[in-house]
Amino acid sequence: MEAGAAAFIGMGLAALGFAGAGIGIGLIFSKMIESVARQPAAEGKLGKYVWIGFALVETTALYGLVVAFIIMGSR
């Protein structure tokens, strides 16, 4: 396999982090909505944890993007 082809495969695999991040963000907010629907008084306590979780999941996508750009720049 040529190095250029391997670089494209690596960029594609690094971009798969976006799919995982999308699923994770969807799960975080769906569970938040479900929790608030069951117990509306807990919204204030849950909100900060939801945003922390969102930030952590989003950083996973950003790391994948950075890795893809690094691979793209090195080919």
What pTM value is reported for the model? 0.77
Look up residue 28 and give its two tokens: 């975080």
Those residues with Cβ within 8 angstroms of residue 20's Cβ, 6 or more apart along the chain or in another chain: 60, 61
Write down all domains in the chain, each with its CATH number in brackets: 3-74 (1.20.20.10)
Q: Number of C-alpha atoms within 13 angstroms, CB side, residue 50?
A: 18
CB-CB contact of 11 with 72 (8 Å): yes
Q: Mapping DSSP to helix (H, G, I), strand (E, B) and coil, where does residue 2 land?
A: coil
Quick: pLDDT tens for 26-58. 999 999 999 999 999 999 999 999 999 999 999
**1 against 60, higher pLDDT:** 60
CA–CA gap between residue 8 and residue 64 (Å, rounded): 14
